[in-house]
Amino acid sequence: MNKNLHALFLITALFLLILSSANQASAINKAELAKLIESAENGSQESALQLFTIYIEGKEIKQDYNQAAAWCLKAAEAGNPDAQYNLGRLYYNGHGVEQSYETAAKWYKMAADAGNDWAMGKLGQMYFEGKGLKINYTKAFELYTKASEKGALWADYLLGWCYYYGHGTKQSDELALKYFEKVANEGDSDAQMQLGTMYQYGQCVKQDNEKAYKWYTLAAQKSPLAAHKGDALLKKLTPEQHLKIMESN
């Protein structure tokens, strides 16, 4: 029994030693932190953003939203679009600052005007939902379009919905299909499932159960809901239709 207890003690001590070493390896030391702070105080936007990341994530140092917000503000006021976007996020969620949709929108707009596509998306969302801004589908659509032109795939997905419902633009079955297919072909399961639904019920497209099942099957690799929809579709088909779909897949 004593030997077993001794062995258990040694194993526990070794585990704690390894854990402690791992924590020390991942933590930023005081000298590195002081160097970053000095650099940020001397005007380095990159250092200020790095400090923001360190404090917001809490991986290398104890998480501190107030410190994160302070360093993010410093870089944002210096005109850094990434910092402006992240400061908007802090105000949107009330992390390290007093929550304010209006102030979040202000910083998102500054970042969006500077070309930050993520800020365009967040600002568009606020126009869409009326948070901190008056609901304006047209402005939301314009922001999604600008982000799409910069290559943001998520913006293409949102444009698909705008055209699907006619929000901020003229309703267009053709363009809704175009954008959903573009995103779906890049492997996005939400867009794939939406195409499955559209083909199953003939929304914006000619009803086609084979294509519906195809898109549900692709989406099912990441989405249990899509798998359920695909299985449910098969149960509604005749044996002949079922066989045709199985042969095509």
Please tell me the predicted confidence (pLDDT) of residue 3.
53
Q: Quote the CA–CA distance of 131 and 31 in Å, as a whole number.
A: 42
Which amino acid, 51? L
- Whether residue 244 contacts residue 210, with contact meaning beta carbons closer than 8 Å, is answered with yes
CB burial of residue 206 (10 Å; 0-12, 13-18, 19+): exposed
Domain assignments of the chain as residue spans, ordered by start? 34-119, 154-238
Whole-number CA gyration radius for the chain: 26
Q: Kindly report the pTM of this predicted structure.
A: 0.79
Name the residue among 93, 90, 92 with its Cα closest to residue 72: 90
> Do the two domains 34-119 and 154-238 of this chain adopt the same fold?
yes
Domain 154-238 top-level CATH class? mainly alpha
Q: Quote the CA–CA distance of 151 and 14 in Å, as a whole number.
A: 50
Give the DSSP H or E segment for 97: none
> What secondary structure does DSSP assign to 132-194, as a single string?
SS---HHHHHHHHHHHHHTT-HHHHHHHHHHHHHTSSS---HHHHHHHHHHHHTTT-HHHHHH
Name the residue among 177, 147, 148 with its Cα closest to residue 164: 177
Listed in sequence order, the residues at least 6 apart from 27 whose beta carbon sits closer than 8 Å to its beta carbon are 60, 61
Please tell me the predicted confidence (pLDDT) of residue 14.
46
**Number of C-alpha atoms within 13 angstroms, CB side, residue 19?**
6
Listed in sequence order, the residues at least 6 apart from 137 whose beta carbon sits closer than 8 Å to its beta carbon are 127, 128, 162, 167, 168
**Number of C-alpha atoms within 13 angstroms, CB side, residue 233?**
28
Give me the sign of the Cα torsion angle 211, 216, 217, 222.
positive
- Whether residue 88 contacts residue 105, with contact meaning beta carbons closer than 8 Å, is answered with yes
Per-residue pLDDT of the chain (249 residues; tens, 9 = 90+): 455 545 444 444 444 444 444 444 346 778 888 898 999 999 999 999 999 999 999 888 899 999 999 999 999 999 999 999 999 999 999 999 999 999 999 999 999 999 999 999 999 999 999 999 999 999 999 999 999 999 999 999 999 999 999 999 999 999 999 999 999 999 999 999 999 999 999 999 999 999 999 999 999 999 999 999 999 998 888 887 777 777 766
Q: Quote the CA–CA distance of 137 and 22 in Å, as a whole number.
A: 50
Q: Quote the CA–CA distance of 223 and 189 in Å, as a whole number.
A: 7
**CATH code for the structural domain at 34-119:** 1.25.40.10
